[in-house]
Amino acid sequence: MKVLVTGGLGQIGSHVVEMLLERGDEVVAIDNLATGRREHLAEHDKLRVVIDTIANKELVDQLVSNFRPDAIVHTAASYKDPDDWYNDTLTNCVGGANMVDAAKKFGVGRFVYFQTALCYGLHPLQQPIRLDHPRLPSSSSYSISKTTNEFYLELSGLDYVTFRLANVVGPRNVAGPLPIFYQRLKDGKQCFVTQARRDFVFVKDLARVVVKACDGVGHGAYHFSSGQDIAIQELYDAVVNAMDLPSKPHAEVKELGPDDVFSILLDPSRTFEDFGDIQFTPLQETVSAAIEYYKQHGTLGEYTHLRLQDKQ
Residue tagged active-site, from 142, 160, 222, 303 = 142
Does residue 86 carry a catalytic annotation? Answer: no
Contact 274, 228 (CB under 8 A): no
Q: Which H or E run includes 63?
A: helix 57-67
CA–CA distance, 225 with 125 (Å, rounded to integer): 18
Closest C-alpha to 292, from 200, 177, 173: 173
Looking at residue 1, what DSSP letter applies? -
- Cα dihedral 113, 118, 124, 126 sign: positive
CB contact at 8 A, 149 and 280: no
Count of helices and strands (H, E) across the chain: 10, 14
Specify whether the CB–CB gap between 118 and 164 falls below 8 A: no
Phi, psi (degrees; rounded to nearest 5) at 108: -70, 130
Integer Cα distance of 222 and 125 in angstroms: 18
Cα–Cα distance for residue pair 266/229, rounded to 1 Å: 9
**Residues in the chain, overall count:** 312
Q: Which residues are catalytic?
A: 142
